Amino acid sequence: MSPSRSKCYEQKEMSKRQEAPFVLASQPDPSGNVSWSGVTIELVQLLAKEIGFKYKFRLTDHKDYGHKDQTTDAWKGLLSEVVGSRKYAIAAGPIPITRENEKAAHLSKPYLSAGIKMLVKVMVCHQ
């Protein structure tokens, strides 16, 4: 990796929201430390190793992933920390891929699909 590219990824603070199976916290150990696991955590670890950057997770208290308030034009939720205040470089979690979000931030390709489907019994009528 070139030195300039490496510098760009030197240390990133990442905002995340706890939600299974994406981000999970263990029970605190006797010292009060918590370890993190989940799909999003593993992806960030792999990216950091591949690209060569360091990161530090910060748990957010936002209740949603974010949207732009149509009245105030301000970003809300998890995305507000990256797009709005620019407090963090990266937001990690199952952020919805919407046209509005894509205009405001660089989103990854989807990496997990819920695969939720409806099951309906087909009724066959004999005449």
Domain 3-104, CATH:
3.40.190.10
Q: Domain boundaries in the chain?
A: 3-104
Give the range among 1-10, 50-59, 93-102, 107-116 with minimum mean pLDDT.
1-10
**3-state SS class at 121:** coil
**3-state SS class at 76:** strand
User: Quick one: pLDDT at residue 1?
Assistant: 41
The answer to whether 87 and 101 are in contact (CB under 8 A) is no
H helices present in the chain, as ranges: 3-8, 39-47, 99-104
Bigger pLDDT: 24 or 17? 24
Is 14 a residue whose pLDDT tops 70? no
Please compute the mean of the pLDDT values over residues 58-66 and round it to a whole number.
79
User: Quick one: pLDDT at residue 9?
Assistant: 42
Would the pTM of this model clear 0.95, i.e. be above it?
no
User: Quick one: pLDDT at residue 50?
Assistant: 92
**SS3 sequence of 28-54:** CCCCCCCCEECHHHHHHHHHHHHHHCE
Q: What is the pLDDT of residues 33-59, one digit of tens each?
A: 888 888 888 988 998 899 888 888 887
User: Quick one: pLDDT at residue 72?
Assistant: 93
Mean pLDDT rounded to a whole number for the chain: 77
Is 21 a residue whose pLDDT tops 70? yes
